A = this chain, B = another copy of it.
Amino acid sequence: MLAPPEPAVLAAQLRSGDRRALARAITLVESAREADRARAEVLLAALLPHAGHSLRLGISGAPGVGKSTFIEAFGLSLLASGHRLAVLAVDPTSKKGGGSILGDKTRMPELAKSEGAFIRPTPSGRRLGGVARRTRDAIVVAEAAGFDRIIVETVGVGQSETEVAEMTDLFLLLIAPGGGDDLQGVKRGNLEVADLVVITKDDGDLAPAARRAESDFGHALHLLRPHATPPVLAVSALEGRGIDRALAEVERLAKAQNSSGAFLRRRAQQAKEALWAELSEALTDLLRDDPAVERLLPELERKVAAGTLAPAAAARAALAAFRRN
């Protein structure tokens, strides 16, 4: 096995368009190993001046909604408009060494073959916070490598959509037409953060249901968010219908945000929040990994859940053990 290249070398390689260097750089920033973290930060510091010049799109939708098919069609359309696209995935359910269906290149065969696209399978990760950090770093790497459109995709698990919405400029929610009550399966939080709602599978037998969903969600979103109603579009990725409209809508929304300054404010705010999330997570890790705290915590948690110990008192006890060490 080759010795890992110096971060500066890796940075120069990926800036010059070397795909293997890009893949390696992302592997490096995704690594949880302490030694890799230090090298990753040197790399990120070198890349940061070249990052930030992309439009970052979050895309979420439950399994089966047709995310891959949509991203494939939407992505090819982006490439046809002269953009370069990186697809990253956030999947809190993927386990270390285990697989995840997200980001699997075989899901987007045409896009995977395209010169202008880069598809990154899901990183494996202990927990969501860490996955989110690694994805933020991967965005920086992809941007420095010249990708001007980034898609961060996620499934509707836990808080992952919120995390994705907090690291992207626009958030697209994909919804499949269902039978009867379409709002049923959709998490409300997603409807609140969506900048654009895409009804998928507007084709064949499902077309009437897709149109109905388009109108139902349009109505519900108008009620829910009268001052910031997101557009709702029915598309057929299979037949290619509506994809260009979705693309035009995304570019229009991005332009509007950009000219109002909302874009930069959102990113500055996201970066600050990311700093505090990192800090809070790192501190909690420090506490959790403390041997004295580790011995104490299970019993404290049990008592707190049973109502025999106040949460504040338990926190105080854990903190005291932590500070003694």
The interface of chain A, by Cβ under 8 A from chain B, is 37, 41, 44-45, 48-49, 51-52, 133, 136-137, 140, 181, 183-184, 188-189, 191-192, 216, 220, 223-227, 267-269, 271-272, 274-280, 282-284, 286-287, 300-301, 304-316, 318-319, 323
Contact = CB atoms under 8 A, between A and B. Distances in A.
A316 to B, nearest CB: 7
Given A192-B188, A305-B268, A307-B271, A313 B45 contact: yes
Number of copies: 2
A306 B267 CA distance: 9
A49 B319 contact: no
24 contacts: A41-B313, A45-B313, A48-B308, A48-B309, A181-B226, A183-B224, A183-B226, A188-B188, A189-B192, A220-B220, A267-B307, A269-B305, A271-B311, A272-B311, A275-B300, A275-B301, A275-B304, A275-B315, A278-B311, A279-B287, A280-B280, A282-B319, A283-B287, A283-B319
Contacts of A282: 315-316, 319
B319 A279 contact: yes
Contact of A45 (B51, B216, B272, B310): B310
A223 to B, nearest CB: 5
Nearest to A277: B311
Given A44-B310, A310-B44, A226 B184 contact: yes
Nearest to A265: B305
A64 B49 CA distance: 49
Nearest to A41: B313
A220 B224 contact: yes
Contacts of A305: 268-269, 271-272
Nearest to A181: B226
Contacts of A304: 271-272, 274-275
A268 B136 CA distance: 34
Contacts of A183: 223-224, 226
A226 B179 CA distance: 14
Contacts of A271: 304-305, 307, 311
B140 A315 contact: no
A136 B276 CA distance: 25
Given A133-B312, A271-B307, A279-B315, 17 more contacts: A41-B312, A41-B316, A44-B310, A44-B312, A48-B308, A181-B226, A184-B226, A220-B220, A271-B305, A272-B304, A274-B312, A275-B301, A275-B311, A276-B284, A280-B280, A282-B315, A283-B286
Contacts of A51: 307
B275 A280 contact: no
